[in-house]
Structure 1
Amino acid sequence: MLKIMVFLMLPTLLLISRAEAQDLASSGAPAYVLKGTEVVSTPSLRLGRDYEAIVSLPADYAQSTRRYPVLYVTDADYAFPLIRAIANRVDRHGVGLQDFILIGLSYAKGENGAVSRNRDYTPGGAGVRPSPEQASGEYGQAAAYLQFLREEALPVLERRYRIDPSRRIFVGHSYGALLGLHVLFTQPSLFSHYILGSPSLWFDQHQTFATERRYAAQHKTLAARVRVFIGAEETVKQGRGRDMVGDLARFSAQIRQRNYLGLDWASSVLPGEDHATVFPLLITRGLMWALPETR
């Protein structure tokens, strides 16, 4: 059975104010921690920024010599502890999951998380902006971030841990899922499985549709397994002004028309969920799909 232990400070999960948190710290009360991870520095010399990977190993890792599948997740601040908790609960309650290594990919150290993810998870290059009515900010460096993952971060982690490189699973939500689609259509062999939630296909006037068309013009094969999930409420009625459900339906139809050799693609609309609530359910379904226990 899978038992993932974690050692991670979770200040963002405590429902108290910053002042109250400081009072607790000064009072000598112990901070709440999740036990048992290793935090690995993965700086990028190319980008000139520091990142970290938060790593959780299977309970039997030290006693084993085998290699394990690995799940890499973006937005580690919230996604890493949530996936760890869901995986433990699913495994304990009779469904069963394979043992796996969980790795959370941090935001750049010293940066606000929104700033880091806006820049690193979105494709497009200099000057790109989310939509015509929005100021550009700093976006569009997904290609550079992907190069960092491929050439700097993943090699460090896969030298340090017994990872099976043929079973790398990518998990991302929103901009994280947009990054996953960028990987899929530019470096598809980097990951074997993709669990994607609520991809921001609207970004930069639906640029990802064009990215897929460019890939299809040169390739008939796409060897990857992909599951995409979205909440049924992620439409214009949610007040976002974007029909993300409709976008995903159109994108999935475009994919199906290609008949790519080797591609296992499915998309699901999850009733009653919106952009804020869909992540726990898609992770539950995604883990059961990508890592079913084998007996």
Structure 2
Amino acid sequence: MIRLSILSLCSVLGAASVYAQTPVAEPAPGMQLVGETVMDRPSSWYQFERHMLDSADGKRHYRIDISIPRAPAPAGGYPVLYMLDGNAAMATLQDDDLAKLANSGHPPVLVAIGYDVPTRNDVVSRAFDYTPPTYENGQRVHQEDDRGRAGGGADIFLDYIQSVIQPLVKSRTAVNSRKEMLWGHSYGGLFTLHTLFTRPAAFARYVAGDPSAWWNDGVLVREWQAFDAKQAAGKAVAVFVGTKPRDPNRPMPNLPRAKPGQAPVENPRAIIGDMAEGLRQGGANVTYETFPQHGHGEMIRVSLERALDIATQP
């Protein structure tokens, strides 16, 4: 009996050793659980509220987290920072960020536009909401990303922000409409620049972190080429790009192909700086910065920190 027990114990320990040595798979990008955020802790600087909304077609479900400064609103109303990928943004924010905003003298309202999921992103809804549509011969073309997720709903989503989310925020607190700002990272950065190039009056300030300008053969590049930069005159535009070499094990996204009758489009990331310079020449107040020490995923924190700083500027 003793021998059998020892053998059994050895078998259990051996199996445990094998399991301990088996690496745990990392969650796919965007699928990490959010967990506790600043909203779940008492704050001396901000008061929080959450609103659950549905898209007009009922297919996408939004979580709108509004953080309102406890300091009285200025005469013209608070500035507002609208943050795309709201779940990930709230998971990225820290208590020290809120304290810094509160002590800036110009604390903004923070509006996290997220999805009703426990993870950092709803990757299917995000792919649709954040990517620009493509038209051929006046007809919208069906689009999918490299994982088969439908895209091209950016204009529908922008309509929703302007007709539902912005009025909701203005019903909850005093807002300075001349100081509304949009921030987004990756697909969110793509959406931010798409908004600037198609409806520049939608916001006064735009911050794009590592925008996915390669989407759908560089449709954003085409939008930029058709955009009159003078329409952005007076806007504050900031673009932050991580240039750390890409992990060789990760496949590259599909880069733009030339369209019939059009000149070839270069690597869109390489011409984001040209976009920034063109906007500057058109009269926008432009900040463009590259970060060789940071990769794409790291840029969410970097660009959000910069957005928070810009949001507090008079």
The TM-score with structure 2 as length reference comes to: 0.71
The residue correspondences of 1:2-17 to structure 2 (distance < 5 A) are 12-13=34-35
Which is further off, 68-77 or 117-126?
A: 117-126
1:73 lines up with 2:88 in the alignment: no
Partner of 1:221: 231
Matched, 1:289 2:310: yes
Amino acid at match of 1:33: D
Unaligned ranges ≥5, structure 2: 1-31, 135-140, 256-266
1:51 deviates by 2.2
Structure 1 residues without counterparts, runs of 5 or longer? 1-9, 15-31
- Taking structure 1 as reference, are residues 249 and 236 closer, same or farther at Cα in structure 2, changes over 3 Å only? farther
State the shift of 1:251 in Å: 2.6
The 5-angstrom pairing of residues 143-182 of structure 1 reads 143-182=155-194
SS in 2 for 1:273: coil
Aligned equivalent of 2:108: 100
Distance 1:202 1:38, change over 3 A: same
Alignment of 1:256-295 (within 5 A): 256-257=277-278, 260-292=281-313
Q: Give me the whole-angstrom Cα distance separating, in 1, the residues matched to 2:189 and 2:293.
A: 20
Classify the secondary structure of the residue corresponding to 2:115: coil
CA positional deviation for 1:157: 1.8
Correspondent of 2:144 among 122, 126, 129: 129
Answer whether contact 2:67 2:110 (CA < 8 A) is retained: yes
1:39 and 1:55 in contact (8 A); partners too = yes
The number of residue pairs the alignment matches comes to 258
Give the 5 Å matches for 1:180-259. Answer: 180-216=192-228, 220-223=230-233, 224-233=235-244, 235=246, 237=248, 239-241=250-252, 247-257=268-278
RMSD: 3.2
**Residue pairs, 1:23-38, within 5 angstroms:** 33-35=40-42, 36-38=47-49
Alpha-carbon distance between aligned partners in 1 of 2:107 and 2:280, rounded to the nearest angstrom? 33
Q: 1:102 to 1:247 in 2, by over 3 A?
A: same
* Letter paired with 2:34: T
Residue 127 (structure 2) aligns with: 118
Deviates more, 1:43-52 or 1:222-231: 43-52
Question: Structure 1 counterpart of 2:35, which letter?
Answer: L
Quote how far apart the aligned CAs of 1:210 are: 0.2
Q: Which has the larger radius of gyration?
A: 2
Amino acid at match of 1:285: R
Cα distance between partner residues in 2 of 1:286 and 1:238: 31
Q: CA deviation at 1:214?
A: 1.7
Bigger shift: residues 98-107 or 225-234: 225-234
Change (3 A) 1:11 1:220: closer
Q: Is the 8 A contact 2:185 2:299 kept in 1?
A: no
Is the CA contact 1:196–1:229 (under 8 Å) kept in the aligned structure 2?
yes
Cα deviation 1:41-92 (Å, max 9, x = unaligned): 344436664423101111224x877510011101111202423535235458
**Structure 1 moving runs of 4+ over 3 Å:** 41-50, 63-66, 83-86, 89-92, 108-112, 234-240, 246-249, 257-262
